[in-house]
Structure 1
Amino acid sequence: MSQLAIQSLFTVNEVEISYRNKTPYQDRIQITRSLTAYEILHHAWDENKLELLEQFKILLLDRKNNCLAISDIATGGMTACIVDPKVIFVTALQANAAGIILAHNHPSGNLQPSDQDLALTRKLSECGKLLDIAILDHLIVTPRNYYSFADEGCMPR
């Protein structure tokens, strides 16, 4: 094996972490109640998909619950959406988020959380504890209303 071939075996990629928020601190919206989160999410949701496809989004928050960003995590079919925790937490880590509000829609308009919704919320809350990123709420969004896990006492402790 040539020297060049041997050297290429030991070549590794370098990962650089950087963060830049283009919104000045004073212009960030502080989320102190679920209604504010719902209004942000409802405004950002594609109205043409809200009652068609299940989608999952997150709001990324700083330590004072100021909104850093909204991120689309997954789009599914009419009755389900596959959510990968790795995608959620890599997004939160890239944004330097201290907290997350989870959100997904129910195209049917039914606001009641399913067993799968409750299980996913528990799983993501446990993941968040390991990374010191709080899962503050999980909203089910419809065009006219929402369900807040936190308001209804359904958030894991």
Structure 2
Amino acid sequence: MSSGGIVGTVVDPRLIFVTALKANACAIILAHNHPCGNLTPSMGDKKMTNRLMDAGKLLNIEVLDHIIVTSGGYYSFAEQMAYEKVQHGKSFYLEALQPF
């Protein structure tokens, strides 16, 4: 529940969890994009993930994962792994990169 500019955004944990509470969710998956295409989580991404996980514990709403999406793949905080989109002929698949 955030919108931002090219270089950043402001995330309000209250808006995220009020939505989860209204839906009677017992778990959530967070996701956001990096328009620049960089799969590496920023320090802000890491701090916000930890804040949201701590908030979820207080509310008994587990944060299962936080995913960063780019046009070339995605990064999963739960797996601590990036996956890059690779083309093989006419098909695309995701290939795991080395952990960060």
Structure with the largest fraction of strand: 2
Q: Which runs of structure 2 are paired with 1:118-129 in the superposition (5 Å)? A: 118-129=46-57
Aligned twin of 1:144: 72
Matches within 5 A, 1:52-67: none
Shift of 1:147: 0.3
Deviation at 1:75, TM superposition (A): 1.0
Larger Rg: 1
Report deviation, 1:86.
0.3
Q: Distance in 2 between matches of 1:90 and 1:121?
A: 17
Structure 2: how far apart are the matches of 1:97 and 1:152? 24
Identity across matched positions, percent: 57
Long gaps (5+) in structure 2: 82-100
Q: Please give the TM-score of this superposition, normalised by the length of structure 1.
A: 0.50
* Number of aligned residue pairs: 81
User: What's the CA shift for 1:144?
Assistant: 2.8
Identify unmatched segments of 5+ residues in structure 1: 1-72
Matched, 1:131 2:59: yes
Corresponding letter in the other structure for 1:109 = G
What does residue range 70-149 of structure 1 map to in structure 2 within 5 Å?
73-149=1-77
* TM-score, scaled to structure 2: 0.78
Moved over 6 A (4+): none
SS of residue in 2 equivalent to 1:75: coil
Cα deviation code 1:88-113 (max 9, x no counterpart): 00000001101010111011000000
Q: Is 1:79–1:107's contact at 8 Å kept on the other side of the alignment? A: no
CA-based RMSD of the aligned residues comes to 1.0
Alpha-carbon distance in 2 for matches of 1:143, 1:101: 19
